[in-house]
Amino acid sequence: MSTKSYTWDNRILKNKLPGPGTYRFGFYSDRNTSGGNWTLAEKLAGKQTAPHPYSGTKSFLFAGTMTWWQRDFGVTTLYEDASPTIGASNSRTWDSNDEIALLAKLADKYRVSNWNAGIFVGELGKTVDSIASRAKQLAKAAVAVKKLQVSKALSILKAKPSNDLLKFRTSTKLGKDTISATELWLELRYAWRPLVKDIFDLSDAIVKKDVPRMKTIHVDRKIPKNVFTSSPTVFSCKGSGCYLKSIVAIVEEKPFSYPQYLGLTNPESVVWELVPFSFVADWFIPIGTYLEARNVISSITKGTYVRTTFDWYKGTVTGTILPLSYIYGSGAHTYGYSSVGNSFNSYISINRTVVTSLTVPLPSFKNPIGNNPATRALDAITLFTQVIRSMK
């Protein structure tokens, strides 16, 4: 754990014109961080340490100058002062529905990861093909034995008849030295046992490979920021920013049960869909997404989750909306801005935590029909009518 804190202030004091007073002009930067972090060299070398908490803020700005003129009844006065500053705000508030959407993205990536049975079998390639080939060979041999087709069985098993087998005839008629299917199968054991041993060995290889695997999943969700100047009705600017939350999940797969192999869906989701009037609740809350995220997140048996919140913006003053002119008092009064000294500002805040579990919050309730009593009544009547008709 380390703490870094510094302030670099290269601004100077300049006199306002025509005065009185002063303003700051120049570059400024500060940083306040706590917690270790990986260097670029460590990242490139793959020598990152285990996930760890980290938090801090950093800013960098240039405080410029603006000049403007003001004319009163033909007399022009020049002014000089600090350029407007840049600020930002989220376009909307991060709420529980955003949190659910973020966790749902994680659940989706976990769900489609290459841990399912079908893809796992596909990854084993020739191992699984070999098992299938040997099993098919045994099945064909068994059919031939059942029909007492000794030559065909030997051909399938790629074996030569043993001395004991040569003594027998393969007639189904009763008589001396005839052989039954069971006896024939036993006599052929020297040929089919190697196949069974191969299948066992190949299966054992699959079992040893089928161990819980680790996977790193990254998801994020962001809300854009609105960037503005300290006097938005006068000064224009350009910039961008966002409020972003991310999760880096280092998870260990949960061994799949046979119902999952068969592709059975989550019973909880099925039950919900069968509940009468469930669509009414869906009208108010994103319950489907909530159930899906909850189901998958809860199925992860072991994991480390690096949760990070980024809050950043940058912007530059680009000019003015003025000049404006208007009537002031008994004579003409005009003013306009001749220059704005390229002021800019950038800011970032980071907060990273490491947790071992995730919780899916309840969705935020939203009323989709507003506060109009008449609208609520009409919609309620319509809804009730539709439900009654569907029950007929």
The domains of the chain are located at 3-115+214-254+300-361, 120-209
Instruction: Using the structure block, give the residue that is written with the tokens 């989709």.
Output: 368
Q: Write down the pLDDT at residue 261.
A: 42
Q: Write down the pLDDT at residue 154.
A: 85
Q: Write down the pLDDT at residue 111.
A: 76
The identity of residue 186, as a single letter, is: L
Beta 86-90 vs 214-229: how paired, if at all?
Answer: antiparallel
Q: To the nearest 10°, the Cα dihedral for 291, 296, 300, 301?
A: 50
Instruction: Using the structure block, give the residue that is written with the tokens 């800011």.
Output: 347
DSSP 234: T
The candidate with the shortest Cα–Cα distance to 108, out of 357, 260, 272, 292, is 292
CA gap 351, 336 in Å, rounded: 43
Q: How does pLDDT run along the chain (392 residues), one tens digit per residue?
A: 578 899 999 999 999 998 889 999 999 999 999 986 666 666 666 655 677 899 999 999 999 998 877 777 778 888 899 999 999 999 999 998 899 999 999 988 887 765 555 555 566 667 777 777 877 888 888 888 888 888 888 888 887 777 666 665 554 444 455 677 777 887 787 888 788 777 777 766 766 666 666 788 999 999 999 999 998 888 889 999 999 999 999 887 665 544 444 343 454 554 444 444 444 444 444 545 666 676 666 667 678 999 999 999 999 998 877 654 544 444 566 767 677 777 899 999 999 999 998 888 876 655 444 455 555 555 555 555 555 455 44
Q: Specify burial of residue 329 (Cβ count, 10 A radius: 0-12, 13-18, 19+).
A: exposed
Q: Write down the pLDDT at residue 275.
A: 46
Beta 331-340 vs 324-328: how paired, if at all?
Answer: antiparallel
DSSP 10: -
Q: Write down the pLDDT at residue 131.
A: 75
Question: Residue 207's Cα: distance from chain center in Å?
Answer: 30
The candidate with the shortest Cα–Cα distance to 286, out of 221, 362, 223, is 362
Q: Write down the pLDDT at residue 115.
A: 56
CA gap 178, 180 in Å, rounded: 7
Q: Write down the pLDDT at residue 379.
A: 59
